[in-house]
């Protein structure tokens, strides 16, 4: 196995080796990486949320409120993270009307939100909530609600 055959190896090889034992450290890194790749491959697919990578949790607590701008028939941002009990406000800065609804039934559904209007709702239960615009189905976003502690 040489560094030229694997782009992944080349990436890992940039991590500084301990002086005097460069070869061993490199092999260890490659072995760990192979295990990680295997684990990640095994997790792909299924009902897992592709937007949340295991271990990829924020260092700081997510805010209790988020604001999403509706502009140019897009959601800005598409993914927001809040804590349980927090709220999300959609502010329509577009020239057209939008209506937001959770993909799962009965989580939330806004009335029609016209230009200059906004809609706010609270999320009391931790979870991942995909949603879309019922008028422009290509507008898709996700609300991630974390436990408060």
Q: How many residues contact Cu ion, by CB under 5 A?
A: 5
- Give yes or no for a contact between 108 and 46, defined as CB atoms under 8 angstroms apart: no
Nearest alpha carbon to residue 75 among 90, 63, 85? 90
Contact segment (CB under 5 A) with Cu ion among 3-11, 50-58, 116-124, 128-136 equals 128-136
Among 84, 129, 135, 140, the residue binding Cu ion under the rule CB under 5 A is 135
Which CB, 64 or 77, lies closer to Cu ion?
A: 77
Could you say which residues in the range 71-100 bind Cu ion, by CB under 5 A?
A: 98
Min dist. Cβ of residue 50 to Cu ion (A): 23
| CA R_g for the chain | 21
Min dist. Cβ of residue 98 to Cu ion (A): 3
Which CB, 88 or 133, lies closer to Cu ion?
A: 133
CA atoms within 13 A on the CB side of 18: 6
Contact segment (CB under 5 A) with Cu ion among 41-49, 55-63, 85-93, 133-141 equals 133-141
* Cβ-based neighbours of 93, under 8 Å, separated by 6 or more: 69, 70, 71, 115, 116
């Amino acid at each position: 196995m040489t560094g030229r055959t694997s782009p992944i190896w080349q990436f890992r090889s940039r991590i500084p080796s301990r002086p005097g034992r460069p070869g061993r450290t490199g092999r260890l890194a490659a072995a760990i990486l192979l295990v990680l790749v295997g684990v990640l491959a095994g997790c792909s697919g299924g009902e897992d949320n592709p937007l949340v990578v295991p271990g990829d949790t924020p260092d700081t607590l997510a805010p209790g409120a988020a604001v999403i701008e509706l502009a140019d028939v897009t959601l800005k941002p598409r993914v927001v993270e809040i804590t349980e009990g927090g709220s999300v406000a959609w502010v329509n800065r577009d020239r057209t009307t939008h209506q937001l609804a959770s993909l799962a039934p009965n989580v939330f559904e806004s009335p029609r939100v016209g230009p200059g209007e906004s809609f706010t709702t609270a999320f009391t239960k931790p979870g991942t909530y995909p949603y879309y615009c019922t008028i422009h189905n290509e507008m898709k976003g996700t609300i991630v609600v974390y436990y408060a502690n």
